[in-house]
Chains A and B, each alone.
Chain A
Amino acid sequence: MSNPNVFQFPEAVRTRSRFRNPIGKFRVNRTGDCIACGKCVEICPYGVHVKRRGQVFVENNYLCLGTGCPEPCYKACPVQALSVRRNPVFDTLGDFRWTNELLAGTWYMAEFGERPLAGLEYKVGNSGGGFDKLRLIFKGTRSCLEDITDDDIDVSLELNRRDDNAHRIRIEIPVYGGGMSYGSVSVTTMVSRARAAAALGTFSCTGEGGYPDELKPYDDHMITQVATGLFGVKEETIQRVKIVEFKYAQGAKPGLGGHLLGDKVTPGVARMREAVVGYPLFSPFPFHSVYSVEDHKKHVDWIKAINPKALVSVKVSTPTDVDMVAVGSYYAGAHIIHLDGSYGGTGAAPDIAKKNIAMPIEYAVPKVHRFLQEEGVRDKMTVIASGGIRTPHDVAKIIALGADGVCIGTADLVALECVRCQNCESGRGCARGIATTDPELSELMNIEWGTQRIINMYLAWLRELIRILKKLGMKSIKELVGRTDCLIHLDYM
């Protein structure tokens, strides 16, 4: 029986790929020997084969389980007209972090709102460390919560843990959308993310590029980002929202400023940022007005003076002294400390910075968690982790390491069918119409499609998180915070 007091999440609605040929792990080949008996259509529960006007076609290659299929069509075919092999295109996709399997798994979640079928590794990547070497450990002795309905598992997160006059804000899932600016992504992408956030009872963030009018209907689910370039920051955009985020640094380019190439500064972007069309924009580093925790407090006070009820989030990267930065943010009056590790980021960044500068998020979170505990302020701060959170398992792992919740960006883009070609920054921008302001390329996607794809992915994550909590014998995600005993690192077994 469902609990009437719980938040009603939207329904998952199957939302197919925008492209004619979705890429999957296997390819099914049908020879001319086919007698169109329809046996394969009957036998395959995944809809790989379809029968139309007396003929049978392979229409959904990407849903094929391949050699892992329990009842394979190619064995059942009476005339041996079918064969299955690995799709060579699949092996050209992906990288160490986002393997081809993780990409295909995320696309599946965004299409169906459920975890992928067997045969796709959707939990870990292949980076050889951190998340990809950590495993959740389920001990047999823990009480089993099989009888409890999913609605009774609480995955919500209270963002304001200070006893002050600011808003009380509860997000329904411990995940919200990270900042991606107008300019780095299209308005369609921004609005899709905002609409999904509103439907899911969580937030999305403007990034540093202004607050397009199209986002106004979702004010209660937006975070205004104030970053070093102050692009598009106005009193009005700070007053309009419930959460304001200071971006001191970003994990993808820690210690370096932002850079929007001239090609991406279209008339619309220039207007929003009060800049000149076609000229590159640099967001400096650091805030040249902040050289101490006291300066930092002045910044926070400034926001509180303009919007007294706003929650203040401080987004920082992960230097050696990230723990000091976190406690400094607490004393400056921030509600949320947002730690951004270095594998994330969606825009252009120097490779040397992404790879080498600042520590991985898996090290930073436990360090900050412990330090805030020792200072006696851990329960006054909300710790958000971002920068490389790809899967629901990453969410569970980073919470077990000491975060309260996470912020994601790249995963949203993958749900929108990003292939991680890494050319977001070149020329007219993303050829797939996600990270671009080019009018023609932006047309490749519409808002309804984008919204539903993101909602579906979040719903799949939600179901996985609930399943994990149940297996751990926990009724609330809050119980998981800092529970490193729920984790195993394969290198130390």
Chain B
Amino acid sequence: MPSKYMIHTKTVTNRFQPVSKSGIIAWEEGCLKCAVCVKKRCVYNVYDKRGIDSRHMIESIDNLCMNCYRCVQNCPKELIHKSLNPEFNAMGDSHWSPPIIVRLWNQSQTGKIPVSGAGYPGPFSGPGFDSMWTDMSEIVRPTRDGIHGREYISTAVDMGKTPEHLMFNGSDTLEGEVPSIIDIPLPIILKMPSFGTISPNTIKGWAMGARRLGTLIALPMEKIDSALEDMGGCLMPLVLPRGTSIGNIPKNAKIIEIPWTEEWQGVVEDIKGYIPNLFVSVRIPMAEGMEEKALSLARGGISIIHLEGSSMSRFMDDNTRNLKDGIRLVHMKLVEENIRDGVTLLASGGLAMAEHVAKAIICGADTVFVDFPILIALECRMCRRCTKGLSCPVEIDTASPGWVASRVVNLIGAWHNQLIEVMGAMGIRDARRLRGEVGRAMFFEDMDRAAFESMGQVEEGCELE
């Protein structure tokens, strides 16, 4: 058993005021100037914390209010109101939704898993990963108690080709060469997002974060400068075939990635000729024909395949098909062709919450890439102003590498604990055994039809209620 993997988190303050869902509106007109104003009686001392004279009736949109509505409901002249903050709902898009963004901010600030009271308030199901539930064990199957440290749950995964079996010679020593693997302590690789106001400091912070987590960060070759020289071990350079010079690959890098090309064999040969022990991952777009591409790579001896979906967690060529289904297709194809254990399947594309990691693995990925969450960890609001050449409202490029690293470590620390929660509930102690465990998951399309399909007959003259 490896030594216990822990991610040390500590609160890292925000640099900017977060956008909150609702604000408080208070009118001065008609105020009775009560001796004990309801504002003074706030259980959370919100009005005092704001540092403004509570006798003044002013509008305030901030995230201190805990929504207990006591001031709203007790003001004798009904002068205090809450209203929705339009800026909140305008954040992000349908995939990177405001609640997801806020939750990522909180985790990056505190390093703690999101906890709340009063049950689950969200929709019944939704697209993609929201249409599956994970299993838990009960009575006849034990769970594992990982989160409170009573049992060790390993999230470590390997990348590379594991041997199908071991051979020993007469003197009980291992026969032949054991292929080397890269092992990382959690099934998450950081990846530089495709947009953002990103400075060399930001990249350095991400790399420092990856090093502290013991994982890798994938980033374009041209972004690797001298500041990252000593961090080659945690970099995963994305190399363009025959574009950048192979000679620029950092000496201590263990792995690089190239995009799919029909001539991949030649490219890989060139690279291996230069650095023989380098792992090469080949990235294929999640799109029509991906199963055949994955199969040809696996049969051709490529041990790491990266399946890349869109930033909205969909297929690259079809917005109606979800990442989860793409992972399942490729995984099953490799299983059917008896070659699944010969390759490591990496998946990327819009993974936005900790549960997406667990679910992507259940669908058949070994490890996943996390990209935009490491930008949102830095208070990004997904406003996309940067893509239009406009300034960043939270000045991400000015953040120091240390702050960036700590925010990312907090976020991934919280995700790691949530992965352990999901695995513990299932009774699974090893992330490698979670891969492809669809039998321990429940899918909306199957469950809903089984339960409700028969309930569609409406005769003439019936009343529904």
Contact = CB atoms under 8 A, between A and B. Distances in A.
Asked whether A and B interact, the reply is yes
B465 A123 contact: yes
A357 B136 contact: yes
B64 to A, nearest CB: 12
A347 B145 contact: no
Contacts of A134: 452, 455
A139 B462 contact: yes
Given A286-B142, A328-B139, A97 B121 contact: yes
A384 B306 CA distance: 47
Given A351-B103, A359-B442, A137 B458 contact: yes
Given A255-B424, A320-B440, A97 B122 contact: yes
B62 to A, nearest CB: 14
Interface string A127-141: 111101111111110
A428 interface: yes
B424 to A, nearest CB: 6
A292 B139 contact: yes
B447 A425 contact: no
B140 A321 contact: yes
A257 B463 contact: no
Given A135-B465, A138-B463, A431-B66, A255 B74 contact: no
Contacts of A291: 139-142
B140 A324 contact: yes
A321 B141 CA distance: 10
Contacts of A98: 121
B162 interface: no
A317 B422 contact: no
Among B116, B134, B442, the most chain A Cβ lie within 10 Å of the Cβ of: B116
A312 B291 CA distance: 53
A362 B136 contact: no
A226 to B, nearest CB: 14
A189 B124 CA distance: 29
Contacts of A362: 451
A421 to B, nearest CB: 4
A360 interface: yes
A21 B120 contact: no
A23 B455 contact: no
Contacts of B452: 133-134, 489, 491-492
Among B120, B145, B454, the most chain A Cβ lie within 10 Å of the Cβ of: B120
Among B74, B114, B451, B453, the most chain A Cβ lie within 10 Å of the Cβ of: B451
Contacts of A371: none
Nearest to B38: A20
A441 B124 contact: no
A138 B459 CA distance: 10
B121 A137 contact: no
A432 B70 contact: yes
B137 A431 contact: no
B81 to A, nearest CB: 5
Nearest to B73: A19
A363 B453 CA distance: 12
A236 B424 CA distance: 34
A92 B354 CA distance: 27
Interface in A340-388: 342-360, 362-363, 366-367, 387-388
A422 to B, nearest CB: 4
B465 A350 contact: no
Contacts of B1: none
Nearest to B66: A423
A353 B421 contact: yes
Nearest to B85: A92
Contacts of B147: 256
A285 B139 contact: no
Contacts of B354: 352
Contacts of B35: none
Interface in B408-425: 418, 421-422, 424-425
A350 B43 contact: no
B67 to A, nearest CB: 4
A408 to B, nearest CB: 12
Contact of A92 (B83, B114, B424): B83
B150 interface: yes
Contacts, number: 296
Contact of B67 (A91, A97, A423): A423
B387 to A, nearest CB: 30
A360 B139 contact: no
Nearest to A425: B117
B6 interface: no
Contacts of B210: none
B432 interface: no
B461 A319 contact: no
A22 to B, nearest CB: 7
Given A255-B425, A410-B119, A489 B455 contact: yes
B140 A325 contact: yes
Contacts of A296: 139
B355 A427 contact: no
Contacts of A92: 21-22, 67, 82-84
B453 A492 contact: yes
Contacts of B123: 96, 127-129
A427 B135 contact: no
Contacts of A352: 113-114, 353-355, 418, 421-422
B464 A423 contact: no
Contacts of A6: none
B228 to A, nearest CB: 33
A493 interface: yes
B273 interface: no
A306 interface: no
A478 interface: no
Nearest to B21: A92
A22 B459 CA distance: 42
A258 B74 CA distance: 34
Contact of B355 (A61, A317, A355, A421): A355
Contact of B68 (A325, A351, A432): A432
B43 A441 contact: yes
A487 B451 CA distance: 12
Contact of A248 (B22, B138, B456): B138
A49 B218 CA distance: 66
Contacts of B138: 248-249, 254-255, 286, 316-317, 319, 321-322, 325
A227 to B, nearest CB: 14
Nearest to B43: A431
A145 interface: no
Contact of B424 (A252, A256, A388, A487): A256
A359 B463 contact: no
B143 interface: yes
Interface string B430-465: 000000000110100001101111111111011111
18 contacts: A20-B75, A127-B123, A127-B124, A133-B452, A137-B462, A284-B145, A319-B136, A319-B138, A347-B117, A351-B115, A355-B120, A359-B447, A360-B124, A363-B451, A418-B118, A427-B43, A488-B455, A492-B454
Shortest 3 CB-CB contacts between residues of A and residues of B: A255-B425, A129-B124, A424-B117
Given A96-B124, A355-B120, 6 more contacts: A21-B74, A317-B136, A320-B440, A321-B140, A357-B133, A362-B451
